[in-house]
Amino acid sequence: MPERTTPHLSVKLRHHFSNLALDVRFNLTQPWTVLFGPSGVGKTSILRAIAGLLHADESHITLSGEVLEDTSRKVFLPAHRRNLGFVTQTPVLFPHGDVLGNIAFALEQKISSRKEIADRAHHALKLFHADALAAKFPAALSGGERQRVALARAFAQNPSLLLLDEPFSGLDYTLRQSLMDDLQMALQQTRTPVLSVTHDLSEVFSLDAEVLVLEDGKLKAQGRAGEVLAEQHAQLLHLLNAARQNPA
């Protein structure tokens, strides 16, 4: 996916929690951007605000030029009207519907043609090698299968932006890499930009993404991983080398 100079997402947020003052401002122009930082610095809250699931004290958010919210003008587009895909660590699937039905339900809010709904759902499942799961119910799915279905459901809606809140953090390395490979292949086809959350340094460097470094609710740095996380990367390499030289 080629890089662009005009932002597909522009965010200004201020919000006070009991234990955190969130105050960030950033623009996204790259195909993949990562919100990086330890737990409790506001990463998930930023995604929730962008998705319309958190009413910030002060905000101005635009997506591809469309104003999603602007507290100064009392503009707030509800979550279901924002053309976003949002995949979390524990995706919510309707237990009484099969996989195909779960994806179709998400599409019914936007599309009236039953054929188009079915075509989109099947295509999205194929993108994530999940077409064999179409008739299964959520209770019969493994953790990795649930994430494949959640990603397929998000992609089926042709979102303008995909939000990922550590959806692979509970999976083993092999399964995580398999899902990441499928996701990156799907992104090449759809050209959908991504904003993801992680505290895993190795994941950031494997993505070669733009990085937003968060610290105590503030944006500390923005840039390529090799530039803004060079110190953390050097520390990680030092620890790994020490572990190899002194195995337990």
Q: What is each CA distance from 15 to 49, 88, 171, 235, in whole angstroms?
A: 10, 22, 32, 32
Q: What is the pLDDT of residue 226?
A: 85
Rg (CA), the chain: 19
Could you tell me if residue 44 is inside a domain? Answer: yes
Domain assignment of residue 13, yes or no:
yes
Domain count, the chain: 2
Tell me which of 158, 185, 202 is where a domain ends: 158
Of 141, 158, 175, the one marking the end of a domain is 158
Cβ pair 1, 188 in contact under 8 A: yes
Assigned token pair, 95: 């237990």
Q: Are residues 101 and 78 in the same domain?
A: no
Do 196 and 238 lie in a common domain?
A: yes
Q: Which of 88, 57, 54, 59 is nearest to 75 (CA)?
A: 59
105 and 226 together in one domain: no
38 domain residue, yes or no: yes
Q: Let me know whether 244 and 166 are in one domain.
A: yes
Cα dist. 78→14, 34, 50 in Å? 19, 24, 11
For position 153, what pLDDT does the model report? 94
The reply to whether 51 and 1 lie within a common domain is yes
Q: Looking at the structure, do residues 73 and 1 belong to the same domain, yes or no?
A: yes
Residue 110 lies in a domain: yes
Residue 89 belongs to some domain of the structure: no
212 exposure class (CB count in 10 Å sphere: 0-12, 13-18, 19+): buried
Would you say the pTM of this structure is higher than 0.95?
Answer: no
Proportion of the chain in helix, strand, coil states, percent, rounded to 5? 40, 25, 35
Number of H helices, E strands in the chain: 8, 11
Residue 88, in any domain of the structure: no
- Residue 228 contacts residue 222 (beta carbons within 8 Å): yes
Q: How far apart are CA 228 and CA 139, in angstroms?
A: 42
Position 235 scores a pLDDT of 62
Detail the DSSP E strand segments found in 109-199.
161-165, 194-198
User: Strand pairing of 21-28 and 75-76?
Assistant: unpaired
Model pLDDT, residue 70: 98
Instruction: Answer yes or no: are the C-beta atoms of 176 and 168 closer than 8 Å.
Output: yes
Are residues 197 and 223 located together in one domain of the fold?
Answer: yes
Q: Which amino acid is at 5?
A: T
User: Are 138 and 221 members of one domain?
Assistant: no
CATH number at residue 25: 3.40.50.300
- Does 54 share its domain with 128? no
The domain boundary residue, chosen from 107, 140, 158: 158
In this structure, are 153 and 212 located in the same domain? Answer: no
Question: Is 166 a member of any domain?
Answer: yes
Q: What is each CA distance from 88 to 92, 181, 190, 205, in whole angstroms? A: 9, 18, 20, 21
Do 65 and 175 share a domain, yes or no?
Answer: yes
Same domain, 39 and 11: yes
Domain that holds residue 231: 1-83+160-248
The DSSP bridge partners found for residue 59 are 13
Q: pLDDT 10s per residue in the chain (248 long)?
A: 555 567 899 999 999 999 999 999 999 999 999 999 999 999 999 999 999 999 999 999 999 999 999 999 999 999 989 999 999 988 889 999 999 999 999 898 888 899 999 999 999 999 998 999 999 999 999 988 999 999 999 999 999 999 999 988 878 888 888 888 888 888 888 889 999 998 888 888 888 789 999 999 999 999 998 888 877 766 655 555 565 666 65
Question: Is residue 150 one of the residues assigned to a domain?
Answer: yes
